[in-house]
Chains A and B, each alone.
Chain A
Amino acid sequence: MSRTFLGTPAFPEAARAALADPQLRRNLAHATGTIRGKRAAVVSELEETGEWEQLRLAGAAIKDQTLLHLDEHLVALEESLVAAGAVVHWARDAEEACAVVASIAHGHGFDEVVKIKSMATAEIGLNEALAAEGIAAWETDLAELIVQLGDDLPSHILVPAIHRNRAEIREIFLREMAGAGRPAPDDLTDEPARLAEAARLHLREKFLRAGMAVSGANFAVAETGTLVVVESEGNGRMCLTLPEVLVSVVGIEKVVPTWADLDAFLQLLPRSSTGERMNPYTSTWTGVTPGDGPQEVHVVLLDNGRTRALADEVGRQALRCIRCSACLNVCPVYERTGGHAYGSVYPGPIGAILTPLMRGVGEDEQVDSLPYASSLCGACYEVCPVLIDIPSVLVDQRAQVVDARRGQVSHVGEAAAMKGAAWAFGRASRLGAVERATGLAGKFLGRRRVDPGGRGVVSRLLGPGGAWSEARDLPAPPRESFRAWWRRTNGADT
């Protein structure tokens, strides 16, 4: 049924395709511009009082403390959940997690489930796994619905259909809704309110008949066993409340120690993600409540690479991430390429570190290209509500990619160049010889032109340097080196 990110080319190639799509760039610039403005307005309210920085420090400290004692908090969470009537499952990887969800559905004879938008279930490819088991998984978040109906891939953590504009969404609804249930009204316009109304009508019948829902969780409180889902539309509340069976797939880094810790995150998350003082709906539930909501509650605690990230002393801070997507919205690279180029459900700056940290480097060209998908401008770090120093982790991941690929064919050229440079810089006479040679070579070294600043540049190197110079200009070598000039003019002492 739906597409996956499998087979996405390495970032530079994927980005080139994205950059060639002017509609995509317009949609992204408009959407990220809007959300940046909204975030800035509500964050500045708390910056004026000094609360914002205090909240960020607290958010980072809570997460760090939790990660350093993750084993204890997970055991505590399990105990609280069980005491509250929930069933706890553990899953080492995507396959195990999907199998748990499918077996619960099969156990009740369900052939469909309704879903709340969840990064964890997208990461494990749950919809595809359930489809293979004969179970239809209906996405109920508006943006996820757009992606699912359009047989598309998500391109943003918060707004998976950010790459689609209203006219495209109308087209998808008119074309695809009928095949999945209640059709879109014939007179559907591209007014956002009309599109939202069409989704409301289309999904209502699914909410009312579904026996089982699948969710993620934004937070899981170890002390009490409380799960928290933060949302806007009410589709989350529908899924959490109406079906008899609820299964929540929760990454092990979502745990926070105490209920009181939520008072920092419930301020940090909505302002950072949708740019609101508070999102329309936040639901909390602690196991089973007799007479209210699902009477069978399951929680799947998911590793799937998180412990690998935890073992990385520099990178472990990425596990503080609360999936707000503020770093995507400010990233100059993301704004131009969009999310698909990152080849993962986690795009943008956070994805560029999370994916290699969770999957490991040195094995997959696409994963290894991600730490380079950044100009290291640092805008992501500035907006991060839990102070993840993304630029430092990117640099560290680059070093790990180089270490992992030492000796491999693709890096032989670079290694040889560096070795040559070391030889030349090692002695003055060698450097002089090299300088004379480059001065001469400059005349024959590919296409020369003058850049807008008036500087002579070589825009395309010939030979083994060709790939390297594809995305950057090289200053044209001078006809005479500084040291040669100094000798000739006696230090310009004339």
Chain B
Amino acid sequence: MNDARTAILERVRGALHGTERAAAPVPRDYRTNPARRPVRPDLLDLFVERVEDYRARVHRCTPAEVADTLATVLRRRRTVVPDGFAWPVPQPVPGAGLTAAELDRIPAVVTTATLGVATTGTLVLTHGEGQGPRAFSLVPDVHVCVLPADRVVLGVPEAVAALDPHRPQTWISGPSATSDIELDRVEGVHGPRELHVLVVT
């Protein structure tokens, strides 16, 4: 295998032999483009509009209303609750130690999110406190995500800059979907088919 490594690196150097390799700066104007809008509080409206565009359901509520909203959305469904999730749910199943097969028999899951991205309507999970390992927000069919409004950023550049690449991440934009049949979008394949986002202001 070391032979392959040496050979590939030699081939790369051979292929570039005689090519001017001086570094040229990468133009990053897309980050500072002044037309990038909007600023708060329109940011939140944009986030909500873009999330709803994917046919996810958005519920705006105050911190005091979170528990009631969760109860309304989850109804009597058994719900996986990750360590560190701060709000009560009607039928909690503690997440710690659940196997994939066990998760598959539980209909719903609640998590928080680390970030929301307004222009793309995306939630970013980094799978720490309140979010649980990656399988939690994947296997159950209903995912309810609680996002404090101050975690919404404008766009992808702001999100990438704020995130720690050493943490595993899942960027979620709407429910699971496919366009594989005649390039028509259909919601609901392997991931949760129902996605609710509670935006807490």
Contact = CB atoms under 8 A, between A and B. Distances in A.
A192 B173 contact: no
A98 interface: no
B4 A278 contact: no
Given A57-B27, A281-B191, A90 B4 contact: yes
A307 B179 CA distance: 34
Interface stretch (B67-75, B106-114, B180-188): B180-188
A263 B172 contact: no
A311 interface: yes
Contact of A234 (B29, B100, B120, B189): B189
Counting chain B CB atoms within 10 Å of each CB, which of A62, A262, A284 scores highest?
A284
B197 to A, nearest CB: 14
A422 interface: no
Given A233-B191, A283-B169, A307-B11, A263 B178 contact: no
A91 B173 contact: no
Contacts of A296: none
B23 A232 contact: no
B165 interface: yes
A414 B5 CA distance: 44
A233 to B, nearest CB: 4
A50 B186 CA distance: 31
A232 B178 contact: yes
A325 B181 CA distance: 16
Nearest to B120: A278
B115 to A, nearest CB: 13
Interface string A200-211: 100110011000
B142 interface: no
A263 B31 contact: yes
Contacts of B14: 307, 311
Contact of A90 (B8, B23, B100, B165): B8
Interface string A51-76: 10011011001101100111100110
Nearest to B179: A274
A22 to B, nearest CB: 16
Chain A interface size band reads 35 or more
A95 to B, nearest CB: 11
Nearest to A117: B180
Contacts of A240: 134
B16 A232 contact: no
A201 to B, nearest CB: 10
B11 A65 contact: no
B92 interface: no
Interface stretch (A12-20, A285-293, A453-461): A285-293
Counting chain A CB atoms within 10 Å of each CB, which of B23, B156, B167, B181 scores highest?
B181
Contact of B183 (A75, A90, A96, A159): A159
Contacts of B121: 277-278
A209 B79 CA distance: 23
B160 A260 contact: yes
A65 to B, nearest CB: 6
B143 to A, nearest CB: 11
Contacts of B188: 193, 196-197, 200
A369 interface: no
B166 A286 contact: yes
Given A280-B191, A307-B11, A266 B134 contact: no
A27 B171 CA distance: 32
Contact of A281 (B12, B101, B120, B170): B170
Given A234-B189, A235-B189, A142 B27 contact: no
Interface string B104-130: 100000000000010111100001000
A311 B101 CA distance: 49
A278 B117 CA distance: 10
B176 A281 contact: yes
21 contacts: A51-B30, A61-B26, A62-B26, A65-B24, A143-B180, A166-B182, A193-B186, A196-B181, A208-B104, A232-B189, A237-B191, A263-B159, A263-B161, A267-B156, A277-B50, A280-B175, A281-B176, A285-B169, A286-B165, A292-B168, A307-B8
Given A51-B33, A141-B180, A241-B134, 20 more contacts: A48-B35, A65-B26, A71-B16, A161-B180, A192-B186, A200-B188, A226-B166, A232-B178, A232-B189, A241-B135, A263-B156, A264-B30, A274-B179, A277-B50, A278-B120, A289-B167, A301-B8, A303-B11, A307-B14, A307-B15
